[in-house]
Amino acid sequence: MEISEIDTQSITATKIDIRKLSLLELESNLLEKGEKKFRAKQIYEWLWQKSAQNFDVMSNLSLKTREILKENFVINGISTYKVQISADRTIKSAFQLHDKHLIEGVLIPTSSRMTACVSSQVGCSLTCKFCATGYMKRERNLDAAEIYDQVVSIAKQAEENYQIPLSNIVFMGMGEPLLNYNNVMEAIQKITSTEGLGMASKRITVSTAGIAKMIKKLADDDVKFNLAVSLHAANDEKRNQIMPINESNSLEALTEALLYFYEKTKNRITFEYIVFYNFNDTQKDAEELYRFAKKMPCNINIIEYNPISDADFVNTDADTLEKFANYLENKGLNVNVRRSRGKDIDAACGQLAVKK
């Protein structure tokens, strides 16, 4: 390594990641450097409303102020590493982080909405047996700004490719959002704030594999966004086989947490259920799902399985899937059968795993 490279890295390491500062912290920091207090609000608008990735674009700041920013701060933005477009118009992006880690995000266009599917971690620690990300090592949590940047980038793709604004965000990409709780909550606060993107909370869904104590924390924090639970089996024995998290967060504990969440927020819960051939697709499985789901106001999304190279699961056949869904509907549950999007580019549910 060249001496100049070492020096550059050392200097960069001493700079403050400016987007980790609150507005008040930024004001205090700038006052110490002889800047006016109102500059902080101008900079904050550039960072969040305008998603600036460098200080030179901040045109209403003096050159002197911009130099002070460059000397003391850094913007650790994400960059687009690779883009793939599916035959069904789904767009998958590999994003590179400032430390060279890669994550994936997906734009899912349908006739009624434009949805950004974003990641919350580099890899995942939960090892769900049907999910490609579960076979990756969890490297680290994403910070709030890195989550925010994914939304900004995917929103730009929606406008540039389809001339339609982004309408929804789902935290269903790489990682378990509730194991990166503080950063996910901060990102959502910025996404919904008038200081940020100003998106309505009801257009955001956070999906979890079922961390009971964190679901209760969501309730205590009185969140306004939607909650989805990756269920995939409604008895503990089967769920333990495919989702090891269930061993420490049983269906009984999950039920208690979800009832608590509903009582506090009055938000219906969405259950996601992948129907695997000859595993969880029988009449008995449907009955177990009904008995579990009827305890609370909910929606059920029946999802096709999307094959991955690390697992031997197979999607159930169309007739079995239809009978499964019909049984639940006839019992009075609200059921949607979701068709996979972006399967040909490994962008569908459960397929995200960075391939360089």
What does the pLDDT read at residue 79?
96
Amino acid at 322: E
DSSP string, 178-213: GGGHHHHHHHHHHHHSTTTT---GGGEEEEES--HH
- Selecting among 27, 35, 104, 272, the annotated active-site residue is 104
Fold (CATH) for 3-74: DNA polymerase; domain 1 (1.10.150)
Give the span between the Cα atoms of 345 and 117, in whole angstroms.
Answer: 15
Query: Mean of the pLDDT values across residues 281-296?
Result: 97
DSSP string, 103-119: EEEEEEE-SS-EEEE--
- For residues 67 and 61, the answer to whether their CB atoms sit within 8 Å is no
Q: Is the pLDDT of residue 341 over 70?
A: no
Q: CATH 3.20.20.70 occupies which residues in the chain?
A: 79-345
Residue 353 pLDDT grade (very low, low, confident, very high; cuts 50, 70, 90): low
Tokens of 72: 């003391």
Tell me which of 3.40.30.10, 3.40.50.450, 3.20.20.70, 3.40.50.620 is the CATH number of domain 79-345. Answer: 3.20.20.70
Residue 10 pLDDT grade (very low, low, confident, very high; cuts 50, 70, 90): very low
The SS3 of residue 220 is helix
- For residues 228 and 205, the answer to whether their CB atoms sit within 8 Å is yes
Angle, CA 28 vertex, CA 23 and CA 33 arms, to 5°: 125
- Selecting among 124, 128, 131, 349, the annotated active-site residue is 349
Q: Is the pLDDT of residue 3 over 70?
A: no
Token pair 């002070």: residue: 68
Instruction: Mark whether 131 is an active-site residue.
Output: no
Residue 9 pLDDT grade (very low, low, confident, very high; cuts 50, 70, 90): very low
Instruction: Mark whether 128 is an active-site residue.
Output: no
Q: Is the pLDDT of residue 105 over 70?
A: yes
What does the pLDDT read at residue 84?
93
pTM of the predicted model as reported, rounded to 2 decimal places? 0.91
State the average pLDDT for the chain: 91
Q: CATH 1.10.150.530 occupies which residues in the chain?
A: 3-74
pLDDT digits (tens, 9 = 90+) for 166-223: 999 999 999 999 999 999 999 999 999 999 999 999 999 999 999 999 999 999 999 9
- For residues 175 and 138, the answer to whether their CB atoms sit within 8 Å is yes
To the nearest 10 degrees (0 to 180), the angle between helices 251-265 and 212-220 is 10
Pairing of strands 334-338, 121-122: unpaired
Pairing of strands 73-74, 79-85: unpaired
pLDDT digits (tens, 9 = 90+) for 120-170: 999 999 989 888 888 888 999 999 999 999 999 999 999 999 999 999 999
Give the span between the Cα atoms of 272 and 322, in whole angstroms.
Answer: 16
